[in-house]
Chain A
Amino acid sequence: MSEKAGKKITGAEILLESLIAQGVETIFGYPGGQIMPVYDKLYDYQDKLHHILVRHEQGAIHAAQGYARVKGKPAFVIVTSGPGATNVITGVADAMIDSTPVVVIAGQVSNAALGTDAFQETDLIGLTTPITKWAHQVRRPEDIAEAVARAAYIAGSGRPGPVVLDLTKDAQVGLAEYVEAKCSFIRSYVPVPEPSEESVEEAARMIDEARRPFVVFGQGITHSGAEAELAAFLDKGDIPAGSTLLGLSALKSDDPHYLGMVGMHGNLAPNAMTQECDLLIAVGMRFDDRVTGTVNTYAKQAKKIHIDIDASEINKNIKVDLGILGDAKEVLTRLTEKIRPRMRMGWKAASEYCRSIETEKVIDPEINPESGMIKPGEVIARIAESCDGKAIVVTDVGQNQMLAARYSRFSQGRSLLSSGGLGTMGFGLPAAIGAKTAAPDRQVCLFVGDGGLQMTIQELGTIMQEGTGVKIVLLNNNWLGNVRQWQQLFFGKRYSATRMINPDFEKIAQAYGLDIATVDDRKDLAPAIARMFADDKPFILNVHVEEEDNVFPMVPPGKSVNEIMLNSKEWFEYGK
């Protein structure tokens, strides 16, 4: 029971009490006119709530996303109305498509001014309704506690997602009694459907009958905390598995059943086996087009089972023979009990051939080149070796992202943070700040391009102020590399607006008081990495990498996932 009970306090204070009641310790935010009453109250709560002042509201929401994904629970953002609120919208859309539990609390003009185009008024509910799980305006102080509890419950339960609370000035300054609210039930909302026994039995039968089953798993495993259950299921059925980008780290990289990442820049084996299996079992993933390639031919030969917590995903992109609605952990536990133990040596051996081709044609040249400029994949591989799978890897978007996903190694869950569905450049730096704040004892390593870093580079100021010990690895190629690669391969090398003239990153680091090492030469790479990890302080490793390096393998747009470019001349067409 809070000592505030029974007394009338302001809505602003009710808000802060409600956050504390939700177990919130950290808030990411930025003040302004219509949220000033809340910031004023925050002054009295500094010992209970750690407010991290970002340099742009987009940084606040991406930091919250990083924090939420590491902690596995909703993270909170506070911003002002109008421009403060619109600045978080990219992150809200990102959180929606990547199922990240964040709650944005935005100031709003007074009740009487609503709809009058008052100073810094925007229709935030109207703007965010299509990109939130729930968007709700609060106009009275007595409704705040309930709204916060509901927001946290909705954001964090079932398939997680973003929630927006639009808090008018009246709600913040008005007086009401604080009554602690809890929410774990909304009658119209069923976050975790109960899997039907028949569907689980049917799935077990299909798996037992299959000769070449193959699992593709996504972030649903992480949300559900089903890492161990997935490994046990694969082990009993001796079933090979591939991960989506956001599924990475849900299975240990050295799990004997793990074949790597699926999709456009995925590994050869899981992509080829998608087109060879007789049963595809998809768990906690949503058949994004970066995963499926052209949907018309995707695993056409196979029967398909889709296990997901969200009914609207079943049959949305890929028609399946059996949908199982439910939480991945529960479904996998029940399935594992029911399936027969099996050995599938012959089937798994198919992956060896793919792996050897990929190693020879793609991986070795990228991570172990003998001469020439440093390759970006090489930097990632060396860092992966020195972190031994223990770091949280954060990526930005572009070549850096795909290479980090391909060459990082993971030995525990919740270790890869990347903007998957929206592909938001600028996500990486603030997300890394959020991740390090959530897990100060873990190494947090960001891989970012020179383009993406400059999209949210102002957050170096947040790092300076907070002392957040993130390790920033700048794969500096002086291009918008990913777009340049597409221009090279599909637009006749017409490099339109992709060349970047960059600032002197040494001077930028200096201005923010951050340590930096710039590396051009292969022999200087290992010592610079060692220096980066020598202490807990933030560090920028600026590596001048081969400028026109390309990410391969690549399933070009419009192709099937077994029609794969190994480099700009050679193709790998498995089973054709």
Chain B
Amino acid sequence: MENEKLFEITAYTENQVGLLSSIAGIFTRRSMNIEKLLVYPSRINGIHKFKITTRTTETLCRAAVQQIEKKVDVVKAFYEIDNERSDRERDIVIAFLEERERNNR
């Protein structure tokens, strides 16, 4: 059996009505408990940030993150084992958005 740990999931999203319940639904479906939830404007202009803490296995956590990132209005989603967080995520998101804008031209 795989061990349960505390994970912190971060999702960078467009600010879309209904996204909160849509993301919450992913946790409900696999009966994963949300221990902590924060939604706030990120430091990237126009992009919101979800921080979700959950206690689960890494396999389930990875699956949930992939399901979150699959949502049309989610830019990127990550997970870290709590306390091991890095600041790289924001840079990844900025680079992704810049590349997308370039592609759109």
Tell me whether B70 and A316 are in contact (CB under 8 A): no
CB <8 Å contact, B63 and A187? no
Task: Tell me if B25 and A311 are in contact (CB < 8 A).
Answer: no
Binary CB contact string for chain A from 300 to 323 against chain B (1 if under 8 A, 0 otherwise): 000000000011100110000000
Decide: B66 and A188 in contact? CB cutoff 8 A.
Answer: no
CB B47 to nearest CB in A, in angstroms, measures 9
Contact status B75-A187, CB under 8 Å: yes
State the majority secondary structure of interface residues on B: helix
Q: Is B89 part of the binding interface, using a Cβ–Cβ cutoff of 8 Å?
A: no
CA A540 – CA B93 in complex, angstroms? 57
Partner of A129, one of B14, B18, B67, B104: B18
Partner pick for A311 among B17, B18, B66, B97, CB 8 A cutoff: B66
Smallest Cβ-Cβ distance to A131: which chain B residue: B25
Contacts of A187 in B (CB 8 A): 14, 75, 97, 100-101, 104
Asked if B3 lies at the interface with its beta carbon under 8 angstroms from chain A, I say no
Partner of B22, one of A129, A186, A311: A129
**If the complex has contacts A135-B18, A312-B67, are A188 and B62 also in contact, measured as CB distance less than 8 A?**
no
Closest chain A residue, CB of each to CB of B21: A129
Give the B interface residue count (CB, 8 A).
23
Secondary structure of the A contact surface, majority rule: mixed
Does A490 sit within 8 A of B, measured CB to CB? no
32-74 of chain B: CB within 8 A of chain A: 62-63, 66-67, 69-70, 72-74
Chain B residues with Cβ below 8 Å from A188 are 13-14, 72-75
Do B72 and A189 touch across chains, with their CB atoms under 8 A apart?
yes
Q: A129-B18, A135-B18 are in contact. Are A315 and B62 (CB under 8 A)?
A: yes
Report the nearest B residue to A186, measured CB to CB: B72
Contacts of B73 in A (CB 8 A): 188-189
Q: Is A513 an interface residue (CB 8 A)?
A: no
Q: Give the CA-CA distance A522 to B50 in the complex, in Å.
A: 65
Q: Please tell me the number of chain A residues within 8 Å of chain B, measured between CB atoms.
A: 21
Q: In the assembled complex, which residues on chain B have CB atoms less than 8 Å from the CB atom of A135?
A: 18
Question: A124-166 interface mask toward B, CB cutoff 8 Å, 1 = contact, 0 = none?
Answer: 0110011001111100000000000000001000000000000
B11 to chain A, nearest CB (A): 10
B29 within 8 A of A: yes
- Which of B13, B21, B22, B104 gathers the greatest number of chain A CB atoms within 10 Å? B22
Cα(A186)–Cα(B75), bound, Å: 10
Is A185 close to B, CB under 8 A?
A: yes
On whether the beta carbons of A310 and B70 are closer than 8 Å, the reply is yes
**Chain B 16-31 interface residues, beta-carbon cutoff 8 Å to A:** 17-18, 21-22, 25, 29
Residues of B with C-beta under 8 A to A130: 22, 25, 29
12 A–B contact pairs at CB < 8 A? A129-B18, A129-B22, A130-B29, A137-B17, A185-B103, A185-B104, A188-B73, A189-B73, A311-B69, A311-B70, A312-B63, A315-B62
Contacts of B74 in A (CB 8 A): 188
User: Once bound together, how far apart are the Cα atoms of A154 and B72, in whole Å?
Assistant: 8
CB neighbours of B70 from chain A (8 A): 310-312
Instruction: Please name all residues of chain A whose beta carbon is closer than 8 Å to the beta carbon of B18 when the two chains form the complex.
Output: 125, 129, 135-136
Residues from chain B with Cβ under 8 Å of A190 in the complex: 100
* Bound form: Cα–Cα A189–B96 in Å: 11
Query: Residue A126 contacts which of B21, B67, B104 (CB distance < 8 angstroms)?
Result: B21
Shortest Cβ distance from B89 into chain A, in angstroms? 15
Q: How far is the CB of A161 from chain B (nearest CB, A)?
A: 10
CB distance from A352 to the nearest CB of B (A): 39
Of all chain A residues, the one with the shortest Cβ separation from B13 is: A188
Would you give the shortest CB distance from A192 to chain B, in whole angstroms? 11
Query: Which A335-370 residues sit within 8 Å CB-CB of chain B?
Result: none
Residue interface mask A417-433, B partner, CB < 8 A = 1:
00000000000000000
Q: CA separation between A449 and B69, bound complex, in Å?
A: 40
Please report the C-alpha to C-alpha distance between residue A315 and residue B62 in the assembled complex, in whole angstroms: 10
A125 nearest in chain B by CB position: B18
Complex Cα spacing A316 to B22, Å: 20
Shortest B27–chain A CB gap in Å is 12
Cβ < 8 Å to B, chain A residues 167-221? 185-190
Interface of chain A residues 414 through 470 with chain B (CB within 8 A): none
Which residues of chain B are near A137, meaning CB under 8 Å?
Answer: 17
Please name all residues of chain B whose beta carbon is closer than 8 Å to the beta carbon of A315 when the two chains form the complex: 62
B97 CB contacts on chain A under 8 angstroms: 187
Chain B 87-105 interface mask (CB, 8 Å, partner A; 1/0): 0000000000100110110
Complex contact A312–B100 (CB within 8 A): no
Beta-carbon nearest neighbor of A316 in chain B: B63
Chain A nearest CB, measured from B34 CB (Å): 16
CB neighbours of A154 from chain B (8 A) = 72
CA distance A310 to B75 in the complex (A): 15
**B residues less than 8 Å from A185 (CB atoms):** 100, 103-104
In the complex, what residues of A have CB within 8 A of residue B22's CB?
129-130
Chain B positions within 8 Å of A134 at CB level: 72
**B17 contact set on A, CB distance < 8 A:** 137
Q: Which of A125, A133, A137, A187 has the most CB of B within 10 A?
A: A187
Q: Which of B67, B70, B72 has most chain A Cβ within 10 Å?
A: B72
- Once the chains bind, are B72 and A133 in contact (CB under 8 Å)? yes
Min CB distance A421 to B, Å, is 15
Nearest to A191 among chain B residues (CB) is B72
When C-beta atoms are compared, the residue in chain B nearest to A137 turns out to be: B17
Which residue of A is nearest B28, CB measured? Answer: A130
Q: Closest CB of chain B to A28's CB: distance in Å? A: 24
CB atoms of B21 and A312 under 8 A apart: no
The residue of chain B having its C-beta at the shortest distance from the C-beta of A153 within the complex is B72
User: Which residues of chain A have C-beta atoms less than 8 A from B75's C-beta?
Assistant: 187-188
> Which of chain B's residues have a CB closer than 8 A to the CB of A316?
63, 66
Cβ–Cβ contact B72 & A312, under 8 A: no
**3 closest cross-chain pairs (CB), A and B:** A312-B66, A188-B75, A187-B100
In the assembled complex, which residues on chain A have CB atoms less than 8 Å from the CB atom of B13?
Answer: 188
Question: Could you say which of A135, A136, A188, A315 has the most chain B C-beta atoms within 10 Å of its C-beta?
Answer: A188
Cα(A432)–Cα(B67), bound, Å: 32
Within 8 A of B (CB), among A70-100: none
Chain B residue contacts of A125, Cβ below 8 A: 18
Question: Min CB distance, A118 to chain B, in Å?
Answer: 19
Task: Using CB atoms, name the residue of chain A closest to B75.
Answer: A188
